[in-house]
Amino acid sequence: MGSIIDSIRKGFAPVRREGFVFVAIPLFIALFVGWYWPPVFWIGAIVAAWCAYFFRDPKRVTPIAPDLVVSPADGRVASVAITVAPRELGLGETSRRRVSIFMNVFDCHVNRAPVAGAVTRIAYTPGKFLNAELDKASEGNERNGLVLDSANGPIGVVQIAGCVARRIVCFVKEGDVLAPGERIGLIRCGSRLDVYLPVAANVLVAEGQIAVAGETVLARFGGGEGDTRVRID
């Protein structure tokens, strides 16, 4: 019996505490209103299960090497481009490689640090709620930007709200020192993450590719093989 329970536990990812209220409300309705009207029980139970699924926070195995950049989000690589980072990041007018990852409502929305480094800047910018897949969403949408001081120079990470997502949550603060793959925040519903890298970075993903936060290698600096050890979190 114990092995069966352990297998069940391993098959379900824990729920982030930010999602507890979203699970509790429909569950409460299902249990108390559903007692008098059974159809409400099933509706509430389904909504509660969906919210638990949406706010899941699975463990990830992160490659550890100073020359690697891992994906900060689950989702589809929406674009790989060379552009200038948003002004609020303070990265100047130098062109950078931008990798954009679009998260739909079925993707895990917990975001992770793409590299190791200290958080030197956090900049929240109010804005619109355009479709996060559009290129102009990088500049026009509500967003929260972080700058990480990595071994390969400053790296920009921008959480972008979409047409459905209206709440960006950041778990870290300026001065925090992060490991690659460490949790940095989440965005509710469909949204997007942009990573701004120095042009020296070798991007290893293509548009349309599916990325896994904390595991998929987005880019590499230099031409070495690096350290292949992994960290389990």
Known catalytic residue: 191?
A: yes
Q: List the catalytic residue out of 71, 100, 138, 191.
A: 191
Q: Could you tell me if 131 and 162 are in contact, meaning their C-beta atoms sit under 8 angstroms apart? A: yes
By three-state DSSP, how is residue 39 classified? Answer: helix
Q: How far apart are CA 57 and CA 173, in angstroms?
A: 20
Place of tokens 């469909």: 190
By three-state DSSP, how is residue 138 classified? Answer: helix
Strands (E), the chain: 61-63, 68-70, 75-84, 95-103, 110-112, 117-125, 143-150, 153-161, 168-170, 177-178, 183-187, 191-197, 201-203, 210-211, 217-221, 230-232
List active site positions: 191
